[in-house]
Amino acid sequence: MGKRAILMGAAGAMSLAALASPAWAQDADADANTEIVVTAQKREENLFEVPLAVQALSSEQLENAGVDSVEELTALIPGASVVSSTAPGFGTVQIRGISSGTTGDGLVGYYIDETPFGVPNLQLTPPASMLDIERAEVIRGPSGTLYGQGSMGGTVRLVTRRPDSREFSGRLQVEGSQTEDGGDNYALGAVINIPIAEDRLALRIAGQYEELGGFAAYDDVATLGLDGEDVNESQSANVRATLLWTPTPDLDVSGTYWRIENELVGSNSFSLSYPEPTTAGSGRGPGFTNTEMDLFSLTVNWDLGGSILTSNSSYIDHTLDLDTPFLIALVNDSTFDTTSFTQEVRLTSDNDSAFRWMFGGFYRDATIDSDICVYAVACPVFSVINVVGPLETRSWSVFGEASLELFDGKLVPLVGVRYFEDERSADGLDRATLISTSVAAEWSNLSPRFNLTYNASDTFIMFFNAANGFRSGALQTPSQAAAANTALGLPPGTITEVIDPDELWTYELGTRWQTENRDLMVEASVYHTDWSDVQTQFASSAVISVANAGDYSIDGFDIGVLWRTPIDGLTLNAVANFNDTEIERAPAALSAATAIDPGARIPNVPENNYTIAATYERDVSWFGGSTLTFYSGYAYRNEQLDATTGAASDQTNDLTLRIGLEHGNWELEAFALNALNDDDFASVAPASGIYQILYPRRVGLKLGVNF
């Protein structure tokens, strides 16, 4: 689909939707008169009135769709998809075509409540589960003014449930399932809310343990005599505790601790040389991929009368530890330990004034300590990479936004800006050559945002948004720089250890409409993005290098519809994205060595994706009165290209089915995830000899009780 077709089709669809009526990212199970409150703009607002492309997905929606990770969340987001999902906590996603591999700083911003999550130089999603999540908010498009660098493609916020100081409550749930041609699975979860002092102090604890039996085979009979099935079994455990103290009605203080552990035998990336999911032999067994995270945060909200002062202090200790074979003969044995301290303070006006404003400051001090060894026999014997050392980043920024209601609130212009500075340094020892290196760099950026909202009525708004996105540059080792120059046939020193920043501008026209009774809601957006000096990842002899690879452009169209049909209890929901991405400029040498060719599509970005879902709920007389619920959701994603070879993955077709019965405090549910058992290639990387598929069909039961 060409750019002109997308833009014309988008304009036509937006006009047609205007004749109907809006806001689709609401809970299909909620009462039609219930307002959905979100904090996407760092203030509490009715979702319908937010002049951004934003979705709010409730805990019920996430549970119905079988979503328990950020990667799985992408199936419900138009224009979002998984770039790579090697293991729980080791995944990368893209939003609206902003994708450049898995290394380099993240292109999607992640927040857990007020706490930012990010690993320097790695595009990792947070390893968080969705247990006791109140809602997930997803902003599509750059949101760096409020959320800083890392939010070039969008921002994902996981909003957890707050403790309740008035009522003791809790939930227990147990789940069992079986994987098609794989092992058995089970999960246990519990939530307890403990009021300690009414209206003053409360504690909420949520915990979950899950074990997946695996589905992959391991074949290394020649070297180890190993020949097994279901070897990619995994265990995931997490516990979160939040203490909320409200000394006065105008002040609340919350402290959170979240411990997460994920352990996977081998990985969920498999050898292309086998027709079935199989991990290649290496003479060392299937290996492992483990992640751990400790998160500490302290958030203060103080209502000063006319404005609210918010402070968030956080500390994250994150570890990614892997030992996995690939390309039959090579093994990647690497550990990445990250510590990060962040502090944000902001002052926000209340929502009652025609003039709204916000300003604040942000500081981050993070270190990733890497120990990387890619070898053929043993480390350091025949090692391709053998490097150890830390990378440090210290950054700060100041930001602000202001808007003014004109013509009795019909027209609302907004201006925002963030100034950002980042100092980075890296020290490394190449243990194969015993050469030590040290490199440092500094970057700064001014990121503005302009928004104009037209509030035509209580049921119809339009908005124009223009926003700048920025990502700090990258530091790499001399061996990475040398490999890049060799692969691209460039003179030594052309590509260096310091990679320049990249930035983009996105221009968007969006609208929301809804009927008076909110039974029909529609949201649509058409957007254009210019992305310059893109930091692009590519491989040469198993060495992953980064280079500024030119300029990209993206044209796209999002649409979503929610319809509470005349059939009592039946709600239909659909979201979709159509886009046309193009590499506008790329160095000739890079084009010769990769699929980064002028005129080609951006790798790892599907041309379209959509999800359609139906929920039907009715009361039945069983057991003295119960509620029966049916849910069906189908998610489609088009093929996406590998960055190195240009090879196309398959389409993915993911069907989720659920039927549940609720009686009093008890809930019983049967489910089928990936009900079609789609086992086509979700991603391919021929140069690395690996591919990934959707998790095979899982059929099971879940029993829960609320108290």
* 15 located within any domain: no
Residue 252: what residue type? D
pLDDT (0 to 100) of residue 274: 53
Top pLDDT among 222 and 558 is at 558
Measured between its terminal Cα atoms, the distance across the chain in Å is: 52
- pLDDT tens for 183-219 read 999 999 999 999 999 999 999 999 999 999 999 877 6
- Percent of residues, the chain, with pLDDT higher than 90: 71
Top pLDDT among 426 and 378 is at 426
**Can you tell me the distance from the alpha carbon of 667 to that of 674, in angstroms, rounded to the nearest whole number?**
22
* 658 located within any domain: yes
* 366 located within any domain: yes
| Mean pLDDT score, 282-301 | 88
Count other Cβ atoms within 10 Å, centred on residue 210.
20
pLDDT (0 to 100) of residue 25: 43
Closest CA to 672 of 178, 87, 130, 70: 178
Q: Is the pLDDT of residue 482 over 90?
A: no
> pTM for the complete prediction?
0.91
Pairing mode, strands 381-404 and 460-471: unpaired
- pLDDT tens for 585-618 read 988 888 887 888 999 999 999 999 999 999 999 9
| Mean pLDDT score, 544-571 | 94
Collapse the DSSP code of 55 into the 3-class scheme (helix H, G, I; strand E, B; otherwise coil) and give the result. strand
Place of tokens 């993911």: 654
Q: Is the pLDDT of residue 114 over 60?
A: yes
| Mean pLDDT score, 694-705 | 97
* 21 located within any domain: no
pLDDT (0 to 100) of residue 12: 45
Answer yes or no: are the C-beta atoms of 360 and 344 closer than 8 Å.
yes
Collapse the DSSP code of 221 into the 3-class scheme (helix H, G, I; strand E, B; otherwise coil) and give the result. helix
| Mean pLDDT score, 526-531 | 98
**Can you tell me the distance from the alpha carbon of 301 to that of 299, in angstroms, rounded to the nearest whole number?**
7
pLDDT (0 to 100) of residue 422: 97
3 state SS for 323-378: EEEECCCEEEEEEEEEEEEEEEEEEEECCCCCEEEEEEEEEEEEEEEEEEEEEEEE
- The CATH number for 196's domain is 2.40.170.20
pLDDT (0 to 100) of residue 15: 41
**Can you tell me the distance from the alpha carbon of 525 to that of 340, in angstroms, rounded to the nearest whole number?**
35
DSSP string, 404-447: E-BTTTTEEEEEEEEEEEEEEEEEEEETTTTEEEEEEEEEEEEE
* 20 located within any domain: no
Closest CA to 67 of 55, 53, 51: 55
3 state SS for 569-636: CEEEEEEEEEEEEEEEECCHHHHHHCCCCCCCCCCCCCCEEEEEEEEEEEEECHHHCEEEEEEEEEEE
Q: Is the pLDDT of residue 433 over 60?
A: yes
* 80 located within any domain: yes
Top pLDDT among 166 and 216 is at 166
pLDDT (0 to 100) of residue 21: 32
- pLDDT tens for 88-112 read 989 999 999 999 888 889 999 999 9
pLDDT (0 to 100) of residue 14: 46
Full residue range of the structural domain in which residue 423 is found = 3-7+40-706
- And the tokens for 499? 């990679």
Query: What are the backbone dihedrals phi and psi of residue 292, each rounded to the nearest 5 degrees, phi first?
Result: -140, 150
Question: Which residues on neighbouring strands pair with residue 337, listed in sequence order?
Answer: 319, 369
* 239 located within any domain: yes
Number of domains composing the chain: 1
pLDDT (0 to 100) of residue 544: 79
Answer yes or no: are the C-beta atoms of 132 and 155 closer than 8 Å.
no
Q: Is the pLDDT of residue 30 over 80?
A: no
* 320 located within any domain: yes
**Can you tell me the distance from the alpha carbon of 184 to that of 7, in angstroms, rounded to the nearest whole number?**
48
For residue 166, the 8-state DSSP code is: S
Count other Cβ atoms within 10 Å, centred on residue 14.
21
Query: What are the backbone dihedrals phi and psi of residue 642, each rounded to the nearest 5 degrees, phi first?
Result: -75, 140
Length of the chain, please?
707
DSSP string, 496-552: -SEEPPEEEEEEEEEEEEE-TTSSEEEEEEEEEEEEES-EEEEEETTEEEEEE--EE
Instruction: Label residues 214-226 b or e (16+ Cβ within 10 Å = b).
Output: bbbbbbbeeeeeb
Compute CA distances 412 → 355, 356, 402, 415, 454, whole Å.
10, 10, 10, 10, 7
pLDDT (0 to 100) of residue 358: 97
Q: To the nearest whole number, what is the mean pLDDT of the chain?
A: 89
Place of tokens 């649509």: 524
Closest CA to 485 of 566, 409, 590: 590
Collapse the DSSP code of 484 into the 3-class scheme (helix H, G, I; strand E, B; otherwise coil) and give the result. helix
